[in-house]
Amino acid sequence: MTLIIDGVKLSNDIKSELKENTAKLIKEKNIKPGLAVLQVGENPASSVYVNSKQKACLELGYHSIVHRISEDASEEEVLSIVNDWNQDDSIHGILVQLPLPKHIDEQKVITSIDPDKDVDGFHPTNVGKLVIGLKGHLPCTPYGIVEMLKRYNIETSGKHTVVVGRSNIVGKPITNLMYQKKEFANSVVTICHSGAKDISIYTKQADILIVAVGVPHLIKKDDIKDGAVIIDVGINRIDFDNEKGYKIVGDVDYDDVFEKASAITPVPGGVGRMTIAMLMQNTYNSAYEKSQRL
């Protein structure tokens, strides 16, 4: 029987734990985790994400700042806001919602964030710590994937993990996390991408298959082996005959592979729900680390 890895339940469990720990941190250290989010422009998808993050902060008892500026704001204005938050002791996490308008250098903005407050885990300092196995903020989606494997007690040590996708947000960091000599990692990892003439050669070898490319229903049952664990990071909108005129699907054809997989994440309700939970976890971790230095 195929196990459904329920991201909704897991994210709710994590948020319940964080709410309890936050109340304790406030009571014992008078430190309230603070998250500041900057949105440049009015991209509808970005607005949805920003609103979700703000809602999560309020739910957990965090200090929350959302700053929205126009799409034609200058790079200097963005950097100035980030610098102010770097200096603000009430802010433990800084997030600049991506993508940014083309006239603003994303890497310049990311590297301007204090690494200790980089709760997205994108700063080169945190990326470097991830690669060599040091403690630092992890990118939220890969962090969520590892937490899923851990909380469902899925064996990873010595298993062949195949990652489809090489983005800086998911593919590269989850590859680095999965081969670390740590619990719920220690896998033999293959990363494949558009350079492969036939990715199924690799995906059919996977004990654990992690797919993050943004191509609807790319992976079919003939692309996986019996008993594979499937982690589907894709969130794609496709036309569909319903009231909305579309539905959300993953990079894996869920219905097609379901019976063949031993465990699988649904879309929606899987990895996506974990991303915001782990952002909240990173923010709490940042506040907690500060409390230990006082």
| Residues annotated as part of the active site | 53, 97, 120
Cα distances from 224 to residues 13, 171, 208, 231, in angstroms, run 30, 19, 10, 12
Distance, CA of 172 to chain centre: 12
Strands 208-211, 229-232: pairing is parallel
Q: How many whole angstroms separate alpha carbon 129 and alpha carbon 198?
A: 33
- Tell me the two tokens of residue 103: 């006239």
Q: How many whole angstroms separate alpha carbon 15 and alpha carbon 39?
A: 24
Q: How many whole angstroms separate alpha carbon 140 and alpha carbon 11?
A: 12
| E strand spans, 212-251 | 229-232, 236-239, 246-249
Going by C-beta distance under 8 Å and a sequence separation of 6 or more, which residues neighbour residue 242? Answer: none
Type of residue at 66? V
Bridge partners (DSSP) of residue 157 are: none
Q: How many whole angstroms separate alpha carbon 6 and alpha carbon 272?
A: 11
Q: How many whole angstroms separate alpha carbon 144 and alpha carbon 11?
A: 9
Burial zone of 153 (CB within 10 Å; 0-12 exposed, 13-18 middle, 19+ buried): exposed
| Cis check: omega of the bond before 33, within 30 degrees of 0 | no
